[in-house]
Structure 1
């Protein structure tokens, strides 16, 4: 047994010197103290991190709940199209179509360099909301007459729809009404300069700025927990025979570009320590009129 231990002792690569041959110095003491302090700090740091950040376990399961909603959080920049002509829609396999979503969605105009032009605004329909209110509101004017004042109802003019009148839309008092009438007929819209309502609203002037500004769309939308999609696209959206389409006829241009930057995109509640794989993703359209899906 002694021979075995002696042979094992001969393999020691770090032999300990004899006590009388070792010399203790101040430098060695300082190095020892610093080493012990570093080891203690590392131990406390790892222990604190372990106790304060419990591990996350991922599990995939089928959600069998019915009627619940899912939040989609987004922050997307489209640098080549003005906010006035961009809309956010969502469709799903259950047949629900949410067009021109404005609830909890904000738009911020950007200049050509990507800098904000104004404070963010809630999205509005691409039609004229003020004009819609005008059609539903009866204006009253006060006119002076002998012996007092009398209020009378102002007669609302019935504008032409340029041959696209229907039972549902007999009068077109705004450019949006004319475009809606032509969409219902599935006709191609004439040049805006040839439509009196569009000339009054300077629609052609607005079209000239469609590709000189950018837009940041951010916020969240609630959708059904079902298969579906949401998209950001130019033009007024509408449904024909349950088919979702966009009217992009006014934007027929080689400058039409849907390049975008996904600053943030996530589904459901955010989880601390978990990021989204699409955050910071850029998608570039280099071939003219292109729609992109991320």
Structure 2
């Protein structure tokens, strides 16, 4: 075999025979179907390439000295805004009531419509002024308190709250708390009131209905795909009241976008506990949180361009080869059906 013949034997694209170059209707149908399939597969592969995916990594949390943002949006349908207060306590012993953050209260009527807006710190300051004044009365004469010896401002507040309870007013509390990045808790309750004022208003702990709806509770901004387990939680009490406790485990999280932008936030898990009210404790809604020592990094990534080209060649080439086989089979089938078989031999 000569050199030219040896080179020709390496040709991977031999020329088709003349009868295979005939254009037929069946071939046209197969070609159209093949083109449609290839177009669909091409768009699917292109979308697959352009879509990002996430990779999760874990490491020891090295953050120190930062604050923890707590986003709150809750509704208390059975408690007026004048009696609700937000307290925060952490493991260092720091107890804050009038937090230096943006917290708001929306007064709601019995149907849940907004009828007024007040800034929470103003209300807390007013409530603690009442608490202090009532404490002075307690030091002067305990019997005077039991005989309803309140000053005029306190009596006005009591009458206002009682009327709000009769009207079925509720309250929506929302805003952001910035607390220290240590374990602690925050709770929403009537603890801002003097105990004797609270007793005058509710006439017992069982009448403090802490039914609530958690519209949103998060510990930082939201990232794509996050699920906060308490969002949309509804707890409505029909009989005796009690205390709700949500035990929250916070996991520090960083979300790294494909653009290299980093979003620091937190995700969390939660367990729930409920205890009925007694004469020694006033009902409340507690959120007790602790931080995990492990931080999770979620990174967006995109598949490589070479990976996209490889898959595209495999998909389009496979479709072309399959349609070619199908065309040959259909051509031979139609040829066998349309042309009568020649008979040979003698009778």
| TM-score, structure 2 as length reference | 0.54
Q: Summarize the Cα distance change of 1:213–1:227 in structure 2 as closer, same or farther, 3 Å threshold.
A: same
Listed as ranges, the gaps of 5+ residues in structure 2 are: 1-19, 247-347
Secondary structure at the aligned position of 1:248 is classed as: helix
Is structure 2 residue 158 aligned with structure 1 residue 206?
Answer: no
1:272 aligns with 224
Secondary structure at the aligned position of 2:111 is classed as: coil
1:146-198 deviations in Å (ceiling 9; x for gaps): xxxxxxxxxxxxxxxxxxxxxxxxxxxxx655423256689584465x53514
Distance apart, 1:47 and its partner CA: 0.9
Distance apart, 1:83 and its partner CA: 1.0
1:5-41 deviations in Å (ceiling 9; x for gaps): xxxxxxxxxxxxxx79x96254443332222111111
Q: Structure 1 CA distance, aligned partners of 2:147 and 2:28?
A: 93
Secondary structure at the aligned position of 2:188 is classed as: strand
Contact kept in structure 2, 1:100 and 1:125, CA below 8 Å = no
Q: Summarize the Cα distance change of 1:289–1:230 in structure 2 as closer, same or farther, 3 Å threshold.
A: same
Distance apart, 1:110 and its partner CA: 1.4
Contact kept in structure 1, 2:72 and 2:174, CA below 8 Å = yes
- Aligned ranges 1:12-23 → 2 under 5 Å: none
2:71 aligns with 73
- Aligned ranges 1:175-186 → 2 under 5 Å: 177-182=132-137
Secondary structure at the aligned position of 2:69 is classed as: strand
Contact kept in structure 1, 2:131 and 2:192, CA below 8 Å = no
Distance apart, 1:233 and its partner CA: 0.3
2:152 aligns with 197
Length, aligned pairs only: 222
2:242 aligns with 290
1:194-234 deviations in Å (ceiling 9; x for gaps): 53514763632332214621111111111112221000002
1:24 aligns with 26
- Aligned-pair Cα RMSD in Å: 3.5
Q: Summarize the Cα distance change of 1:226–1:213 in structure 2 as closer, same or farther, 3 Å threshold.
A: same
Q: Summarize the Cα distance change of 1:92–1:196 in structure 2 as closer, same or farther, 3 Å threshold.
A: closer
Q: Summarize the Cα distance change of 1:102–1:252 in structure 2 as closer, same or farther, 3 Å threshold.
A: farther
1:232 aligns with 188
The correspondence for 1:42, drawn from 41, 44, 50, is: 44
Instruction: Select the structure of larger CA radius of gyration.
Output: 2
Distance apart, 1:255 and its partner CA: 4.0
Q: Summarize the Cα distance change of 1:221–1:56 in structure 2 as closer, same or farther, 3 Å threshold.
A: farther
Distance apart, 1:289 and its partner CA: 2.4
| TM-score, structure 1 as length reference | 0.63
- Aligned ranges 1:165-180 → 2 under 5 Å: 177-180=132-135
Q: Structure 1 CA distance, aligned partners of 2:55 and 2:198?
A: 46
Is structure 2 residue 50 aligned with structure 1 residue 57?
Answer: no
Q: Structure 2 CA distance, aligned partners of 1:120 and 1:198?
A: 18
Distance apart, 1:277 and its partner CA: 1.5
Q: Summarize the Cα distance change of 1:74–1:117 in structure 2 as closer, same or farther, 3 Å threshold.
A: same
The correspondence for 1:104, drawn from 102, 105, 108, is: 102
2:203 aligns with 252
